[in-house]
Amino acid sequence: MKSYDVAIIGSGPGGYVAAIRCAQLGMKTAIIEKYSTLGGTCLNVGCIPSKALLSSSHHYEEATKHFEEHGIEIPGEIKVNLEKMIGRKQAVVDQTTGGIDFLMKKNNIDVFEGLGFFKDATHIKIDGKDAQEIEAKKIIIATGSKPSNLPFIELDKERIITSTEALKLKEIPKHLIIIGGGVIGLELGQVYRRLGAEVTVIEYMDRIIPTMDAGLSKELNKVFKKAKCKMMVSHKVQSVERKGDEVIVKAENKKGEVVEFKGDYCLVSVGRRPYTDGLNAEAAGVKINDRGQVEVNEHLQTSASHIYAIGDVIKGAMLAHKAEEEGVFVAETIAGQKPHIDYNLIPGVVYTWPEVAAVGKTEEELKADNVEYKVGQFPFRALGRARASGDLEGFVKILADKTTDEVLGIHMIGARCADLISEAVVAMEYRASAEDISRMSHAHPTFAEAVKEAALAATDDRALHV
């Protein structure tokens, strides 16, 4: 029987990063993955493939709607070859997952293909290609999550689908009905709207991206309406039924009336659930709560102190970069170091165009906590860089403590916000004031100038270019 210092169950961003850090710290490390490729949901059927399709569909939209104004004329009809687009997406996935294989070899990490589950607190059985039993002094559970569903919806994975199937459709839907106005639904909705599908988004809450700042929701809603998407908020889905190639969705609006929607595809995008199926956690004395999450303490230890859990399978935001931070945190904790994670500073991003990104507290949270704050906001359309590229939509909003000027939250929607948010994270990690950011030089012309201008507005209402 092979014996390890650390064994990790699951090879998503949390698991594989934990494995690398453990190996860097001198531990003999194994990782167990039930699928034939490493990288988990994110690399195979999540973050990476969705960004590939967002990028390809954005190119198509630019070519059909915006090239002409730049003086670029393409004779003849510009067509979508969906098969080729999906093929490119898969090539991106294959290259990325292959990169993880390389990293495992480089760091001398043993990879086992098969379903890993607990025999007892120190032994893991593996069912599958590399069937065997291994033992480990420390174990990290990184089994991730799966798409959630509503109890009355039967997913046939042909017409009534999850994000996994939406990433590999054989045709562009005529009318795609999306249940759920969160990150995944909106990103995939934008992909297929650009390619010509009619899109209807049905959201239970009174706004899309309901966990983010209300100002961002309002601005993104405008973007989708401008693209002629139907945005049905405050609608409670009651039934989803397939009849041949047609899907019929019935929902109750806020007046109590039942509204019917008909389309050829229905994407169910109502969040994700922790995945512990087949883990046999109780055999190791690991407690799972009523929500299906593995319970952990502040050191990410489970009820069995030598077993840790990270990522989507525990509490908190289901984000790849949060899982990565936790993977490093656990590896360094096992090595006797004293790492830290500030969960308030884990950014959230929606990769639509314009992109949406945020870190820290929202206005709603600050009001609920009775914190006195000031707001500085700056529109992208006032930037020279935005005008040069034609990306005029959106704004940056900075929330700062009214007394101390410390930045409490930064919320943005606009071009390249997924990248710009890192400046906000760095500033807040060092407890910067709005004035600190306002006095740092930002290259001109750039989208990043919007952050500086919002900081000037928050400091003393003294933005320069509005």
- Catalytic residue numbers read 444
User: In 119-226, where do the E strands start and end?
Assistant: 123-127, 132-141, 145-147, 160-161, 175-179, 198-202
Q: Quickly tell me which residue has 């389309």 as its tokens.
A: 263
Pairwise CA distance, residues 134 & 24, whole Å = 21
Give how far Cα 254 sits from Cα of 210, 232, 234, 384, Å. Answer: 17, 10, 6, 42
Pairwise CA distance, residues 57 & 60, whole Å = 5
Pairwise CA distance, residues 60 & 119, whole Å = 51
Pairwise CA distance, residues 406 & 404, whole Å = 5
The pair of three-digit structure tokens given for residue 182, joined into one six-digit string: 């969160």
Pairwise CA distance, residues 140 & 109, whole Å = 14
What distance lies between CA 444 and its chain's CA centroid? Answer: 30
Neighbours of 299 (CB within 10 A): 12
Task: Specify whether the CB–CB gap between 451 and 437 falls below 8 A.
Answer: yes
